Structure 1
């Protein structure tokens, strides 16, 4: 089993032990082990007990539990707890603001055992009457329930891509041509249907082939002779497989990829894209590749060619009136990465290890931005540890040539009043500062905007990190006045982050073009906590392109020399 799977089982065991009011010391043992092992790079599943007990937070008892998980895929203690816990109670942990104690109270005092009961109790006012809850907590629970209901049946971009690739590999073994289409191809940040096109001249045989594949479960009611609909085992999102003959594949790949509002757009001749897709001119290039067919469709409609990521609505055509497709940022354009974490705070790799991997990726600089002192839960750095880390960075940099550098950054918490959580003397030691909100996320639009504006006004703020604090499909971001925030960034020369983690993708792509219009650059930051996390910049590039981000307005597309010059000049301006 993977480390994350082992840690998840330990964490769930600790949570359920607390829920059932088991021995406090034993409960804490599981919770502490899960917290510490979440950062471990050791191969937990293959370590013997005598090696496991050498890891932080792991005693002999927990080490034996880890061996049980690794060898059996289960944990007896957890199985017993799950047998005593209604499945719906576990769902209640997904509600923002509901910790173990509150879930236990709702279960024991109101008999709430699922989300439907929870919503009913809130609508009837029962939650507000419980000691320690009140009307405010009840309202927050109802709002969180509404948000979760809106997200049902959806997956994030990364999981959708993984599913699509799994299906592609499976189907390609049985069919001559398979294409990933729909929301996945146009890089939607949330996906409610994973769609692929399957080339076949015999839909009946194709359907029979699919029924024999072990990981696919068909929804016969939703399917038709030419469309298979159902689920992929282990995923709660619709899978849609469309059957087309060879001469329809390119045409349909275009149609199925674009959103309906994009297909309705028409050029000067009044021909909508959807109509152009069926026009005879397309037939003349049917035998050619997908790109040529799609270019012919746009030409027939009298419209400029739009890349798949941008085929959402009419925005792309407004963008195209001022830009060319080759201006859009690509992975190859990125020269470095600036928001990353290491073992100095809550990362899993050392600064040196992260930097070395960046060099392997062909990047020329790595920016470390570990958590600041307020983020004690994440091992945030106080001023003394900042100094120690910067000494280490100087030592590592001394071993590099002129083609690579580690920049000294920090992810400084924006406090409730908008101030950063270091004094000016400490802030002045960094090459750059990523300012982010991590705590007290429940705010009105006015409060949240004011808080960000003050942080932006701080001369040491270089980059505004994940501006709304959202977690896709899990937590709605706090409301902000995007225009006011972007305008302030323009005034104070602050970069805005596109947090490339597929859990965030924040700032939302809809605001990228406005930021560029105001002269605000955007930085595609992975918020990486391990080596694999650095690759999340691929998602950031996809979202950047969807929003029309150009290489020229991408902060981390600057070369090492340009970035060094920019940061030095900014620090010099602060000292004036």
Structure 2
């Protein structure tokens, strides 16, 4: 059981107790435990009871429940509440943006007990009669329900890829001559996938149980770990099938392949076409006559956009910086949350100045490695930035990001961001749409206007590498590059382990054909310092 799995149990326990109007202190303690546990780096499953009790924000009662969960697979207290709560109401707790308060009204006042009933009620305008609800809230809930329904049976690339590699390893061990390769959305590095797809020479020769595949007796559906699996046979034409199953129809058609021929490898197919071999991540558009130099993880020289214990990070500024140094990076940009972000312990002016003093000390200690002073400034509702201008000007760079009021219409949302982009202190526009993959849709924006503003003001656009964000979307990068806008691949790391998330941003950027020269975080320390003085 992963740390995330364990943490989610306590989130559910706190929220379900809230539905039943239980003790506020206990609810808060369970939700606090969720926030603590989900950020831990070391596996909770390997800790003993005393270690669990010593964790700040956990304590004896919660530690006992963790031990109970790891031993039996259940938490008795949670099971008690699950027995008296309709299954559909529990499902609603998993829909981002609803929350226990709204669900309590929906369930107890309107007697709605499932997402399906709730969607029908929205379509029939029944929510507007409930206390605290109106037409706008009803429409917002309807959109969340539709997004939730569309997201079922889908998974984040980052969650599935490691399991897929384990399956391939098993295949290589048990069936080394099967020619097993990943195909489909995983192979082309799509941020959202529907499962694991594997191409082999002949499926009929595979004993799937021998490689860890589970088969549901009722449905016949196959899975590996938590994810559905599909197998395909390529036969003697496995090279052609490999390309077909990793390409868009546009790409495949443009190759003009004579499908009556036999191709035992992908290379043979490309040799017969007029195009060079394309890696799978570049097979979503028209084929290229030459393959450009595309960014790789090893091209990243600095880690930009990070958080520490000054705001909502798990590790100290020094621990974060040293992890970057040990990982071979040349510089580190600390960008804790600004003062309006009360939800994330945003920095007061006094704490900003305290952090600046620590940065100066650490830079003396760690040179030639360098820490840069930054802030992730909330873009306020009117488009202005947190802090007075004299404080903003003291940072080496400011990342401007939206974290609140995400339900604006497209014109107001665009105007809000453009005002922030035009602020002289803004150097990077952070996770522009605020989307959470499989959780919430992005901010609606007139992207042409946003990009024009960034180009005119020398503002870089972030590709936030957190696999739940990957924002901006890779499909927009080409338009930004056409306008001369730099892209910065940033992990938005809240712990030392999350620094490695930068790789997922690189994988997304590869789909857009981003080169190292077009990526701010691939700048050397010297180049980065020159860029800082260029505006």
Which TM-score tier does this pair reach, normalised by the shorter chain?
over 0.9
> Is 1:256 the counterpart of 2:245 in the alignment?
yes
Unaligned runs of 5+ in 1: 223-228, 267-271
Match status 1:168 vs 2:168: yes
- CA apart distance, 1:32: 3.1
Gaps of 5+ in 2: none
Give the counterpart of 1:447 among 392, 396, 412: 412
**Cα deviation digits, residues 12-70 of structure 1 (max 9, x gap):** 21111111112223222322333344445576556566655554334443343334334
1:183 to 181, 185, 201: 185
Query: 1:197, CA displacement in angstroms?
Result: 1.3
Q: 1:425 to 1:153 in 2, by over 3 A?
A: same
Instruction: Please tell me whether residue 359 in structure 1 is matched to residue 336 in structure 2.
Output: no
Asked if 2 retains the 8 angstrom alpha-carbon contact of 1:41 and 1:349, the reply is: no
Distance 2:247 2:218 in 1: 26
Q: Confirm whether residue 312 of structure 1 aligns to residue 302 of structure 2.
A: no
- Deviation by residue 1:346-383 (Cα, 9 ceiling, x = unmatched): 11122222222222322111111111111111111111
Note the C-alpha offset of 1:182: 1.6
Which residue number corresponds to residue 507 of structure 1? 472
Please, which moves more after superposition, 72-81 or 472-481?
Answer: 72-81
How far apart, CA to CA, are the structure 1 residues paired with 2:373 and 2:138? 44
Match of 2:493? 528
Where does residue 556 of structure 1 map in the other structure? 521
Q: Secondary structure at the match of 1:501?
A: coil
- The answer to whether the 8 A contact 1:219-1:230 is kept is no
The number of residue pairs the alignment matches comes to 533
Aligned counterparts, 1:156-555, within 5 A: 156-176=156-176, 177-200=179-202, 203-206=203-206, 209-211=207-209, 215-217=213-215, 230-235=222-227, 238-245=228-235, 247-266=236-255, 272=256, 275-276=257-258, 278=259, 280=261, 283=263, 286=264, 293-294=266-267, 296-314=268-286, 317=287, 320=288, 324-402=290-368, 404-555=369-520
Could you tell me how far 1:509 is from its partner in structure 2? 1.1
| Residues 394-441 of structure 1 deviation map (CA, whole Å, 9 limit, x = unaligned) | 222112232x21111111100001111111121122111111000111
1:109-165 CA-partner distances (Å, limit 9, x unpaired): 222222111111212222121121122111111111222222222111112313321
In 2, are the aligned partners of 1:217 and 1:232 still within 8 Å (CA)? no
TM-score scaled by length of structure 1: 0.87
Deviation at 1:179, TM superposition (A): 0.9
More moved, 478-487 vs 302-311: 302-311
Deviations along 1:455-478, one digit per CA (max 9) or x if unpaired, are 000111110001111111110001
Q: CA RMSD in A?
A: 2.4
Farther-moved stretch of structure 1 (556-565 vs 155-164): 155-164
CA gap of 1:8–1:427, structure 2 versus 1, over 3 A, is same
Classify 1:110/1:300 alpha carbon distance in 2 versus 1 (closer, same or farther; 3 Å): same
Out of 359-368 and 56-65, give the one that drifted further: 56-65
Quick one: distance in 1 between partners of 2:43 and 2:465?
27
Relative distance call for 1:214 and 1:555 in structure 2 (3 A) is closer
